[in-house]
Amino acid sequence: MSVKGDDIFMRLFVFFDLPVVKKAQRKIATRFRKELLNEGFTMLQFSVYCRCCRGQDVVDREVRRLKQILPPEGNVRILQVTDKQYGGMLLLIGKPKKEEIFGTEQLLLF
């Protein structure tokens, strides 16, 4: 049985460095973070957010949306990985959060 592209879960990572020296820059950076949360992303680290997407169509839609909300300064990178690759991520420092302990099994909760 072949797997359709819509049946593959992907993780979309957003990494960013935004200037926050001036008050206006901090406001823009905060707005960008809030937009990521509104789009269904979860903060993994302060400037690293991740979202689970079902299929390439959803990934493509999110990338288009991210392009619309890009801040005027700084840089933003996007990385797409399979859910299986995401499940192989190692957490090396500190105690994992409750939601990180479940790894890819959290998809069962959706």
What pLDDT score was predicted for residue 8? 87
Query: How many Å apart are CA 105 and CA 23, to the nearest integer?
Result: 41
* Tens-digit pLDDT profile for residues 44-58: 999 999 999 999 999
What pLDDT score was predicted for residue 29? 96
Query: How many Å apart are CA 67 and CA 98, to the nearest integer?
Result: 31
Q: In the CATH hierarchy, which fold is given to the domain comprising 5-109?
A: Alpha-Beta Plaits (3.30.70)
* Tens-digit pLDDT profile for residues 58-100: 999 999 999 999 999 999 999 999 988 998 988 787 776 776 6
How do the domains of the chain map onto residue ranges? Answer: 5-109
